[in-house]
Chains A and B, each alone.
Chain A
Amino acid sequence: MTRLRTAAALLAVIYAAAAAAAFLAPYSPTEQNRRFPFAPPMTLRFVDASGRFHVRPFVYSLVPRANTFDVYDEDRTRAHAIRFFVTGARYRFAGLVPSSRHLVGIDGPERLFLMGSDEYGRDVFSRLLHGAGISLGAGLLAAAVAVGLGLVAGGAAGFHGGVVDNAVMRGAELMMAVPSLYLLLAVRAALPLHLEPAETFVLLVTVVGVVGWARPARLVRAVVLSARTRDFVVAARSSGASNTRVLARHVLPETTGVALTQFALLVPQCILAEVTLSFFGLGVSEPVASWGSMLADLQRFHILAAGHWWLFSPGVAILAVFLLYYAITDALHQRLMLRS
């Protein structure tokens, strides 16, 4: 139980960070600093060159090394203290409240690269936070769509039986037989390529959600089938309750355990699906950041060869999120087992 609570709490923190990305990120995710491509992460220091301890952490400026493209040296003569609640790029909190305060930042024209920069000099940390919003948000919504469709389809199939059951289940089997990755790519490629970023997001959610309804549907159907014959359902029927009432008040609540477990299992899969689409260039387009499009850069040989390790950070973030979700799924599944 504590494992479930801890994992859920950590995930909530991550989601909150994604929602507050514009405030937590020092810069806009699209701001290019063309003099600093592939800058490495700046080291936070407490002790300066002369050995003095500072309570407030600071960083040294980065100076590009002459005649190189992406090699930098620290300038020990120029230190910048980390400041909190600095004024920076304007944004709209939750799309409504305009603000220009950011949690961290440094003075002066120099930039604070907490996790380094990409090839256009864009701050990777800012892009990671904003990308979390896209990838995690799309994953969450798509999983909700998939489970929602699964509830409707599985509920109808299990409750009414007969032709409906047959049709829905054969459809589900067909969806499950096709390898999901190729189905995803095919569906995406069949749709118009030129879309506004907002439309692309909705499209991603829909595509990923629709591809994933089959498994939840089958499980929901199994639960509904067994619930249909339970004593309290028969009792409700015989006392004159309509089909809808029986379904809504007596049968569907039985499926919550399965639905929640499936949801927890599907979210990481949907996140991965969005990341895969963006990795192949079929998801969000430039300059919007998503964990998938950030990882797409790693397909290029020279980035691996040059050892720009901070560009792997979205991969590490995905790993962390997945582990937390699997911990939740595990705990939920055990609770389900114990209950039944």
Chain B
Amino acid sequence: MVPRALALIVAWCLLDPSGLVWTHAAAQQVREAELLTTSGEPGRFGGQLTLTQRAEPRTLNPVIAVDSPSREIIRQTVGDLLHINRETQLVEPALARSWTVSPDGRRLVVTLRKGLRFSDGDAFDADDVVFSFQVYLDEKIGSFQRELLHVGGRPIGVRKIDEYTVQFELAEAKAGAERMFDTVAMLPKHLLEAAYAKGQLAETWGLSTDPARVAGLGPFRFKEYVTGQRVVLERNPHYWKRDSKARVLPYLDRLVFLPVANEDAQVLRFRAGEADAIARMNAENFDALAREQAGRGYVMRDLGAGLDYTFLFFNQNDPPATAGVDMPRRLRWFRDTTFRQAVSAAVDREAIARLVYRGRAVPLAGHVPPGNKRWINASLPAPVRSTARAETLLRKAGFRRTGDEPLVDPDGTVVEFSILVASSNTVLRQIATVIQDDLAALGMRVHVVPFEFRAMIDRILNTHDYEAAILALGGGDADPNAELNVWLSSGPQHLWRPAQPHPATAWEAEIDRLMRAQVGMLDVGARKRAYDRVQAIVAEEVPMVFLVSPNVLVGARAGLGNFRPVVLDHHLLWNVEELFWRTGPARSPQ
């Protein structure tokens, strides 16, 4: 007994804190914690995975990060209590070993795994959970998670029961309440408490922070950041998952993220072997890469219909104060449902799917794409392009056109407006060009205006100084609750008329009623019927002209084990702890 304990102590002292040197004793130490066992293929340890990002990250702070590069990196370094398995789309225990829901659906009790540690070795327990939720719900910090942790208009209550048990109280029953906890990162109280007390939490954990002061429960931990060049994450030696052979994950030594601003440059880097995987590329680039995949040692996969949907929508707000004479007239057209239905009837979705996406997209009738098999309203008719029907609808709405002359409204003004698209997104620009031509056949004069993305979002959500725009949404979760912000008339993402104090139209009021009702419905059948009705109203009133849902296209270097990309975000890294290289010494350190 004593010699073994002594050996344990000596070995523990000799343990290399960077995790590169494993001793038998240390492995035994971790085995005493309650680890989660994964079901993937057991793999080889070692190697590095390099990925590219469209922009540089801005912070390592999970509380305030909103931009996708930062969130993509942070996601690999944090853990959540309950996690939605991206493959099965069902909730699984993660940092929590189990959870129970009270019969009235208002109380959730979560039991944590024992013996878990943050990446710096500090113990993880209920205190960290309570602290994390305190930070997320804090009004002064204003984390975007805060909105999602409100039920029935009130923040969820968090109470520590004992060292490994936490109780959550909801103001009212919420369907799928456990899905709320997905990606809510657990924060280390021992590192952040002081900053929080001083009100400086939002400024901590920037990219220049000393890696020793950053810790999380994810498979990797922050190692280095070189401005403009790379972010490097290294294996977390205290990770709480192991494979079926009881070896502690992850297999990879390092994750490297390179900033590459432009999609074509990303494709070239992947092709040259400088990046090991690529996701979210155009169908054209995908086809170009797929043609050569056999000889060049990578594998391209078309995962089929995804959860994203692209759409054209019109400004239905009151005209902004700075508007000239033209815009109020145009906004009157946009508020006419028949006008919007005419535009929807004239758009050639099949041509968009064929020309812009090379057939790797599905035309949409409503906002739920076919990739969302569980929630789509299958009874909605498929969209049929009919210029004749569009012309009939326009005549019914009082618009007139003689021969090849431009279309005029009842007051004799030529129908002319502009469509904003993000200048960095070639796909949406191409869609705009097709739509411009489709509407020219009706006699409408449409201008395509490429705009810088953030300035465009500002115009849409804040100043309302725009006429029409094309955007894409989706990808988060298949569950309807993920899109509450879009469909509630008071929601900040109710794009055509955000943050309404009262619903402006009867049909928006009806959608509000149905969406709020389905949040509390615990019966799946009733929820589906309510959501089907929402989809039918949306397809009828056309607040957005839905276009297509693109397939999810990914690629990776051949020989990546456990590479099972999925349709949900993050397509490649959802199971990063299981990814491994089958052959060779993988890559030498950069």
Contact = CB atoms under 8 A, between A and B. Distances in A.
B378 interface: no
Given A119-B430, A196-B447, A285-B448, A34 B354 contact: yes
Interface stretch (A8-16, A17-25, A294-302): A294-302
A286 B449 CA distance: 8
Contacts of A285: 447-450
A55 B584 CA distance: 66
A37 interface: yes
Contacts of A30: 437, 440
B285 A281 contact: no
A298 to B, nearest CB: 10
Contacts of A90: 404
A287 B438 CA distance: 12
Nearest to B285: A302
A152 B329 CA distance: 45
A78 interface: no
A287 B285 CA distance: 23
A281 B449 CA distance: 10
Contact of B433 (A69, A281, A286, A306): A286
B284 A300 contact: yes
A302 B283 CA distance: 10
Interface string B418-429: 100001001001
Contacts of B364: none
A195 B440 CA distance: 18
A120 B450 contact: no
A49 interface: no
Contacts of A287: 433, 436-437, 448
A193 to B, nearest CB: 6
A93 B293 CA distance: 51
A36 to B, nearest CB: 10
Interface string A282-319: 00011100000000000111110110000000000000
A52 interface: no
Nearest to B430: A119
Contacts of B359: 69
Contacts of A303: 284
A52 B404 CA distance: 43
B354 A193 contact: no
A87 interface: no
A197 to B, nearest CB: 8
B348 interface: yes
A32 interface: yes
B284 A302 contact: yes
A299 B450 contact: no
Contacts of A120: 355, 433-434, 437
Contacts of B516: none
A194 interface: yes
B267 interface: yes
Interface residues of A, number: 23
A302 B447 contact: no
Nearest to A31: B437
Nearest to A306: B288
Nearest to B267: A301
B287 A69 contact: yes
A194 B282 contact: no
B351 interface: yes
B335 interface: no
Interface string A220-252: 000000000000000000000000000000000
Interface string A30-45: 1010100100000000
A301 B268 CA distance: 8
A34 B351 contact: yes
B326 to A, nearest CB: 11
B433 A300 contact: no
Interface string B245-273: 00000000000000000001001100000
Contacts of A193: 449-451
Given A285-B447, A302-B288, A69 B437 contact: no
Contacts of B285: 300-302
Given A32-B434, A193-B449, A37 B355 contact: yes
Residue among B284, B287, B351, B432 with the most chain A CB within 10 A?
B284
Contacts of A34: 348, 351, 354-355, 434
Contacts of B267: 301-302
A286 B359 CA distance: 23
B433 to A, nearest CB: 5
Interface in A39-79: 69
Contacts of B432: 286
Contact of A305 (B288, B404, B430): B288
B287 A302 contact: yes
Contacts of B587: none
Contact of A69 (B358, B418, B426, B449): B358
Contacts of B355: 34, 37, 119-120
Contacts of A37: 355
A129 B448 CA distance: 22
A69 B286 CA distance: 13
Nearest to A299: B264
B269 to A, nearest CB: 11
A120 B437 CA distance: 10
A282 to B, nearest CB: 9
B496 to A, nearest CB: 19
Contacts of A300: 264, 284-285, 426
Residue among B264, B291, B429, B432 with the most chain A CB within 10 A?
B264
A167 to B, nearest CB: 36
A286 B437 CA distance: 10
Contacts of A194: 418, 447, 449
A301 B264 contact: yes
Contact of A286 (B354, B404, B423, B448): B448
A30 B437 CA distance: 8
Which 4 A-B residue pairings sit nearest by Cβ, starting from the closest?
A: A302-B284, A302-B288, A305-B288, A301-B264
Given A300-B264, A305-B291, 13 more contacts: A34-B348, A34-B434, A119-B355, A120-B437, A193-B451, A194-B418, A197-B447, A286-B432, A286-B433, A300-B284, A302-B282, A302-B284, A305-B288
21 contacts: A34-B351, A37-B355, A69-B358, A69-B359, A193-B449, A193-B451, A281-B450, A285-B448, A286-B432, A286-B436, A287-B437, A287-B448, A300-B264, A300-B284, A300-B285, A301-B264, A301-B267, A301-B268, A302-B282, A302-B288, A306-B288
